[in-house]
Structure 1
């Protein structure tokens, strides 16, 4: 299967599609947001993703009970949900300049909507595809609304059971989505390698008959590279100019030099997959001459017998294969042979 997003082909036979997720790393500066776009393009990212919401479309302006992040281990501990989304959201009037800059630099810009109003707004900007976040992957009404656009749909699968994903996938397909990509995701920030369980990727591909990728919150490129070996065709990473600049997602975001390395590493991983192959490749043919083979290692006179002292398995590989050593021992040579001559059948009787 191959999915086409704004002219970019996505599938097992194509190089991985790398998405730089800006999220709230713009730190409330449009200038910084555009600089992130520039840096993502320079690093080789193929897609640029933002998020479309306001604090009021996400939650209520309360700061107690479940509306307050009290988990001391959380990056966002001590904040209300409303405050957090107020820090992280991308003003809607910034979307067009961000998208325009990304397109001008050869990237495919799109966004994650969180309610119907954000889908309507993104439709007015003619986005080429949509992304559903892990925390919304059970929001069937939102999935139906996005799927009804008929555009390719990417869904992160963090926290979702197989049964929940089945409901979401069926809802998307019934509502008009024919191009679906699921992203294996671990919804912790940052995520650990041992909790990534990327062996799920080929299973997910078989189970839901769709393209599968990775939304990766781990530090570094190792999990992403490994996921390509398991069939991931999309890699999404949070991206920032510098982690020391802060930002709601800065702590687990990649910096420009790291994204450069990631783009190259996942491309090499994809190239290395190749196909099932035995025997020398075209590139290896010249190396065959440096295999071990049988050579005469002493000057010999006609009629002299070959033995383990005057024949050895050495490099290069122009003589008989070494498997014939026992067969030729005791055979006589038919003419004088100089040391360093490769053994061949026409030299012996």
Structure 2
């Protein structure tokens, strides 16, 4: 990630992203309060989510458990859809408060909207790291990219970086669980990812502690820290229960900035005195790239696979209009992985596939070659 010129400090600056997401609820007044709080707390950037429900989940995805309770996910995403002018206004609000604007697209429509309003960087969320058409699209913008790597295996990261390249890419260690246990973060993976792929690294933290994961990440070479912000844990935002209130966010910023100025050994000693050796060691982890225990059940469900977009009948040859790369979530079954979707045009179904369900290998009679 290339911060704005006024934040470039000879590589010594930790770039801190305040994740607002959809916590504004479509209200620009609420959005400005959140951006102002992020700026006052010391963030460099305010990040949002550019939501169109059809790009994310099938309409029949059902209820999904989230930190604030179980909700009908597709309908909630529909409620959060906004026109392009809304995101232009968000960008202007960020400029007024001297913060960089960043948003997460979930498909080609939302990505093109962000390009149209002049977004200067793009963030790809963990579940979209295997959304190969989206990665191809944003790679063509030649903008700095931030890729979160939660609910991903090493092969998924490698495939994504083959598409995006590594120049001006920052890879964030992440755990796709809400909240995520701090001990699942395995922060010793950061130096490995940096050396293996030649990219800048950081962390997107969904744990509840304001300080522990972000500050330890600095000792492992993180240059970008992302964490949710809210005005109140009792708010109506999807992520409000796990987000930091402004005073907590400011404490996180202060701890991260201090860690950047002092030797790593001093930071480790400070955190060990506060949290104990066992906790610090657990958060640092083994340095092996594995799915975290809290996200294993999400693999293949939270990230993308091939789903039918209409009722498909046995004997039908598939066309690209018959399916899309969507999240499965809890009730539906996943389909084949996105990197195999190129085999589907012309393939014949051996059985019917209802709209919304994943198209699996066993649903196919023949593949077109």
Provide the TM-score with structure 1 as the length reference. 0.71
Write the deviation string for residues 251-303 of structure 1: whole angstroms up to 9, x where unpaired: 11111111111111101001013799xxxxxxxxxxxxxxxxxxxxxxxxxxx
Provide the residue aligned with 2:360 in structure 1: none
Contact 2:52–2:106, Cα closer than 8 Å, also in 1:
no
CA distance in 2, matches of 1:179, 1:38: 28
Equivalent position to 2:177, from 185, 188, 191:
188
User: Is residue 13 from structure 1 mapped to residue 11 from structure 2 by the alignment?
Assistant: yes
Q: Are residue 49 (structure 1) and residue 47 (structure 2) matched?
A: yes
User: Greater relative contact order: 1 or 2 (C-alpha under 8 angstroms, separation 6 or more)?
Assistant: 2
| C-alpha distance in 2 between matches for 1:222 and 1:89 | 34
Q: Which residue of 1 aligns with 2:233?
A: 243
Aligned counterparts, 1:276-287, within 5 A = none
Partner of 1:200: 189
The farther-off stretch of 207-216 and 90-99 is 90-99
SS of the residue 1:187 aligns to: coil
Paired residues of 2:203 and 2:222 also in contact (CA < 8 A): yes
* 2:245 matched residue in structure 1: 255
* Contact 1:10–1:234 under 8 Å retained in 2: no
Partner of 1:118: 110
Correspondence for 1:29: 27
Q: CA deviation at 1:70?
A: 5.3
Residue 231 of structure 1: SS of its match in structure 2? coil
Mapped pair 1:100 → 2:92: yes
Residue aligning to 1:75: 67
Q: 1: distance between equivalents of 2:81 and 2:256?
A: 30
Gaps of 5+ in 1: 277-349
**1:75 Cα deviation from its structure 2 partner:** 2.6
Aligned to 1:281: none
Q: Secondary structure of the residue that 1:248 maps to in structure 2?
A: coil
For residues 1-349 of structure 1, what are the structure 2 equivalents within 5 Å? Answer: 4-7=2-5, 13-62=11-60, 67-69=61-63, 74-75=66-67, 78-89=70-81, 91-173=83-165, 178-219=167-208, 220-273=210-263
Is 84-93 or 210-219 further displaced after alignment? 84-93
Alpha-carbon distance, 1:85 to partner: 1.6
Secondary structure of residue in 2 paired with 1:245: coil
Mapped partners of 1:11, 1:157: distance in 2: 26
Shift of 1:129: 0.4
The answer to which of 84-93 and 114-123 deviates more is 84-93
Supply the distance in 1 between the matched residues of 2:21 and 2:130 (Cα, whole angstroms): 21
User: Residues of 2 paired with 1:26 and 1:44: CA distance?
Assistant: 19
In 1: Cα distance, 2:87 partner to 2:119 partner: 10
Question: Residues 51-92 of structure 1, C-alpha deviation per residue, up to 9 Å, x if partnerless?
Answer: 112222322322xxxx12355xx4365423202323555554
Aligned equivalents of 2:174, 2:56: Cα separation in 1: 21
Answer whether contact 2:194 2:200 (CA < 8 A) is retained.
yes
In structure 2, list runs of 5 or more residues that go unmatched. Answer: 267-369
Q: 1:313 corresponds to which residue?
A: none
**Closer, same or farther in 2 for the Cα pair 1:195/1:93, shift >3 Å?**
same
Is the Cα–Cα contact under 8 Å of residues 17 and 225 in structure 2 kept in the other structure?
A: yes
Rounded Cα–Cα distance in structure 2 between residues aligned with 1:256 and 1:132: 25
* Paired residues, number: 265
The TM-score with structure 2 as length reference comes to: 0.68
Deviation at 1:228, TM superposition (A): 0.6
**How far apart in 1 are the matches of 2:207 and 2:86?**
28
Deviation, structure 1 residue 247? 1.6
Q: Choose 1 or 2 for highest CA Rg.
A: 1
Tell me which residue corresponds to 1:332.
none
Residues 15 and 170 (structure 1 numbering): CA distance in 2 closer, same or farther, change over 3 Å?
same
